A = this chain, B = another copy of it.
Amino acid sequence: MKIIHTIKEIREEVKAARRSGKSIGFVPTMGFLHEGHLSLIKKAREENDFVVVSIFVNPTQFGPEEDLESYPRDLERDSRLSEEAGADVIFNPTAEEMYPEGYSTYVEIEGELTKKLCGISRPGHFKGVTTVVSKLFNIVTPDRAYFGQKDAQQVAVIEQMVRDLNFDVKIVPCPIVREKDGLAMSSRNTYLSKEERKAALILSKTLFKAEEMIKNGERNSTKIRDFIINNIKSEPLANIDYVEIVDAKSLKYLNEIKGDVLIALAVKFGRARLLDNIRLEVK
């Protein structure tokens, strides 16, 4: 498996694959891969002839006070894991390669979709995401691109961008992968102390209970949301950023739990801001 650092070279690799009639699957990541990422690579391997994994800690999606510098990195381990999962090539550009001097073009979704949930505490985050994903799509020209459902708002944002800007790419959202005890996998889990790691279990436990309440007939979203908030607050190390119940595609707030429902939350434990969510089809 090749590791490529320049746009010119990855273009050549992809074009060669295209010329031999291969379909292109793409998994954009920020590296420090875990089982969640690997499930995306495996899925891409199943559905495509040529699989590109990008590893790029994208500066434009981090706020000035965020963890850009300390974000965990391990290219050697990532390469080995990617290859085992079925990647054909890793694209690992530098920040200068992606954003050379004088860089000034941005892709942005205006309106609600990027302003709520993570958009509140991370202004500008999704602008960085849509910009880098646009660039990566133009460079890699995939047939299919794979995103983890843990970042549910990101999936909704990318889908809107692809629809609006007419990217000829099929977006494939993939289910959250969890540790055995339920914690959603995340590169940022490495920030957790032993105590915080244990406390963070409150997130998945609470979401599963909420799911059960809905399965047992509860349809009042305020009741479910209050339950989740109160349950998480019972954990002293948890610091809630948001808990919201929304339509999974439009991210509009739901009063009644009905349709394509997303219950999404962001909660801090120490310096780790963790996301988790459940998505369920409710009749």
Q: Is the CB of A166 within 8 A of B107?
A: no
Give the distance in Å from the alpha carbon of A168 to the alpha carbon of B160 in the complex.
22
Name which of A27-35, A62-70, A135-143, A217-225 contacts chain B: A135-143
Q: Does A227 contact B (CB under 8 A)?
A: no
| Min CB–CB distance A8 → chain B (angstroms) | 10
The digit string for A120-157, where 1 denotes a CB below 8 A from any CB of B, is 00000000001100110011010000000000000000
Interface 9-mer from A40-48, A98-106, A200-208 = A98-106
Q: Does A109 contact B (CB under 8 A)?
A: yes
Query: What's the minimum C-beta distance from A247 to chain B, rounded to whole angstroms?
Result: 13
A106, A141, A161 pick with most chain B CB within 10 angstroms:
A106
* CB of A236 closer than 8 Å to a CB of B: no
Instruction: Let me know if A135 and B166 touch, CB within 8 A.
Output: yes
Copies in the assembly, this chain: 2
Tell me which residues across on chain B come within 8 A of A131, comparing CB atoms: 165
Say whether B113 contacts A109, CB under 8 Å. Answer: no
* A76 in contact (CB, < 8 A): no
Task: Report the separation of the CA atoms of residues A161 and B102 in the bound assembly, to the nearest whole angstrom.
Answer: 11
Of the residues B105, B141, B160, B164, contact of A161 by C-beta under 8 Å: B105
**Which residue of B103, B108, B135, B141 contacts A105 across the interface (Cβ within 8 Å)?**
B108
CB distance from A139 to the nearest CB of B (A): 5
A7 within 8 Å of B by Cβ?
yes
Is A167 in the interface zone, CB < 8 Å from B?
A: yes
| Cβ contacts under 8 Å, A164 to chain B | 103-105, 135
Smallest CB-CB A-B distances: 6 pairs: A105-B164, A138-B166, A104-B111, A139-B166, A105-B109, A135-B166
**Beyond A104-B164, A107-B107: 10 further Cβ-contacts under 8 Å?**
A7-B166, A105-B109, A105-B160, A105-B161, A106-B107, A108-B108, A131-B165, A134-B134, A135-B164, A135-B165
Residues of A within 8 A of B (CB): 7, 11, 103-111, 113, 130-131, 134-135, 138-139, 141, 160-161, 164-168
